[in-house]
Structure 1
Amino acid sequence: MDSRKDTLWFICITLLVSWFIGWLWLLDEVRLIFLLRVLMCVPAVVAMICAWVFRRETPRAMGLQFPGWGYWALGLLLPLGYAAVEVTLAYVVRFVSGRPDFITFQPESLKGPFELRGLVVVPAMLGLLVAGSLTWLLVAVAYSRGWPDRVRARLPKDWRVVPHFFNLSLWVPTFYLGGLPGELGEEMGWRGYLVRRWMDRPAVAAAITMPVWAAFHLPVIFSSTQRGHVLQNISFLASIAVASVVFAALYMASRSVWPCALFHLSWNIFNPMLLGDVYSGHPGLFGGEVWIFNGEGVFGLVLNGLLSVWFFRRWMRAPVTQPLPGV
């Protein structure tokens, strides 16, 4: 099967299943909040099924090897860089517009684990993020060094299925989230499967994921907190679309899902913590016009939009690259 057909199968199945789960969540957003984590895992499950059915690929083909400490650190810390740029731009707007309420510094609103309050929550959560990613680090190093294969080679024939259960460690929930690792689930699907199918045409890979990843988030705009906010929802979906280009670029540069998964997880922690939550409208370390200066709002759209233009121009000028093995 060529890349166009299995891409279409993957997109259609993933969106239909995720929209159905999203519809169930909308029936009772409070009691069924756990369904959001389930929804985020759908891309990985569908990707693993499609990869095996269409090409007999194992999850390892998605890029589970250790990408190096540089990419690992980039995934963890990049959201903090985004926040720094967006806060700076917000204070520029505040100064130029003469609106002191556009953005306000309010550390008293931060609440973290262990009954922590104020600015200390930020480094505490960064420490928890690093600790929670150790399971992923173990998996990445194990695959890079071929440990599962070595174990399999030394086992009796009837026991050689045992190392395959090592893949279950991918789904070990990080202890501070208390649920499924949805960020990894999304990245294994959107980047590890969909982008990888088009690795030899980077601009096409990024262009395909833009509308699809935005469509994946459609249930959110029908939630009780976002329903009816037209401009906010447009900026939200558009920012998601252009952010997919940055994620695609990170995956294609590292050829590993881990930097993307870490970036996604770190983003979901620090973006609402620092810049407020566009899903609920609650402020973070900074309050004010959250839907404008948030990373999933207008400022996020502008920043990721500029990066997307730069990446597309670079890809259009670059020679065609070879796809990853198994594509």
Structure 2
Amino acid sequence: MRALWVYLAISLGLSWLVALPLWLGDGLETPRFTLVALAMMCTPALAAFVVVRFVERRPLARSLGLVPVRPWGRFFAWMGLAFLVPLLLVAAALVVAAAFGLYTTDLTGFSGLQETIDAQFAALGVTEELEFPIEVLVVAQLANIVVGSVINLVPALGEEIGWRGWLLPRLTDRYGVLVAVLLSGVIWGVWHAPLVLLGYNYPDASPLVALATMVGFCTVTGAVFSWLRIRSGNVWAPALAHGSLNAAAGMHVLFGAAGTSVDTTQATILGWSGWIVPLVLVAVLAATGQFRPRPAVVPPTSQVSTDAA
């Protein structure tokens, strides 16, 4: 229990300390916002490292979920799922939001994207129009999501080593899988408070509504990440899923209609309507026993004796 409290104190305390320049400066408009956000993403991993090294005194790689990764075929299969599932959930969230009338699409002219580009050009003092079809830019942005997912894996590890690498197994040992999945998601959401209370992700909501919605979002998506952690046996799959989700989260900009706005407390994967499909997925996974730890992979006897020789 001591290790858990030390971890929470370090991870939550450091998140506020790292974000302090935003509160003392111009908030999310602070020029170094991206740097601050990236540094904040490292705090859960740092907290986990300190706890494992100085409190638990256990082997780092296994305690943080960095191993095992073999057999390689299984590892890459889970990594493929980790990349694909968040993209499908983000896309499904837009379909659901559109069905509820919370999101207006333009899938032919992509007028919302054109409006966004025009506004960005105007802010830069550029008056020229795009010299290529808007559809080309849409395709390029979708391709960029693939690249961004891989790049985002690195900072996402900073969070996932803490949340799913260290925290989830410790909570599972103490409270069982169900409570561990829910509690780790809530803690993950609360950890975002230094940014969310400044308007991050939910710029049009009151601070308390924004934080409550962020906790809901993290609990739902965290359950999916927890499934990947439990079944893959390591932290790499949830880290890639985290990176994939971050890369695809702005997908609504590509397909929205001009002159409309999106309330992220209600629409996109961040809002309540976007949680419906992930909740159904989690329910199906739970009903089919997919939150049970994967069976250990034991090499054949002949292989064991050969290695020993």
- Fold-level match, TM-score > 0.5? yes
1:60-139 to structure 2, matched below 5 A, reads: 60-61=61-62, 62-65=64-67, 66=69, 68-94=75-101, 102-105=103-106, 106=110, 107-108=113-114, 118-129=137-148, 133=150
Distance 1:318 1:43, change over 3 A: closer
The equivalent residue for 1:285 is 255
Task: Establish whether residue 269 from structure 1 lines up as the match of residue 247 from structure 2.
Answer: yes
Separation of aligned partners in 2, 1:302 and 1:229: 23
Quick one: which of 180, 194, 198 aligns to 2:167? 194
For residues 185-226 of structure 1, give each alpha carbon's deviation from its aligned partner in whole angstroms, at most 9, with x where no partner exists: 000000111012244532232132022111101122321535
Gaps of 5+ in 2: 118-130, 297-309
1:1-327 to structure 2, matched below 5 A, reads: 4-28=1-25, 29=28, 30-33=30-33, 34-61=35-62, 62-65=64-67, 66=69, 68-94=75-101, 102-105=103-106, 106=110, 107-108=113-114, 118-129=137-148, 133=150, 174=151, 181-200=154-173, 201-224=176-199, 225=203, 228=206, 231-272=209-250, 274-275=251-252, 283-286=253-256, 288-291=261-264, 292-310=266-284
Moved more, 234-243 or 244-253: 234-243
Equivalent AA in structure 2 for residue 213 of structure 1: W
The number of aligned residues is 256
Distance 1:251 1:298, change over 3 A: same
Distance 1:9 1:229, change over 3 A: closer
Secondary structure in 2 matching 1:103: coil
Separation of aligned partners in 2, 1:242 and 1:128: 25
Separation of aligned partners in 2, 1:284 and 1:119: 6
For residues 52-104 of structure 1, give each alpha carbon's deviation from its aligned partner in whole angstroms, at most 9, with x where no partner exists: 1123234311222435222111111222211231222123223xxxxxx8322
Secondary structure in 2 matching 1:68: helix
Secondary structure in 2 matching 1:181: helix
TM-score by length of 1: 0.67
Q: CA deviation at 1:121?
A: 2.2
Separation of aligned partners in 2, 1:318 and 1:79: 18
Separation of aligned partners in 2, 1:290 and 1:69: 36
Distance 1:312 1:125, change over 3 A: same
Identity %: 21
Separation of aligned partners in 1, 2:80 and 2:103: 32
Secondary structure in 1 matching 2:66: coil
Contact 2:14 2:43 in 1 (8 A): yes
RMSD of aligned Cα (Å) = 3.2
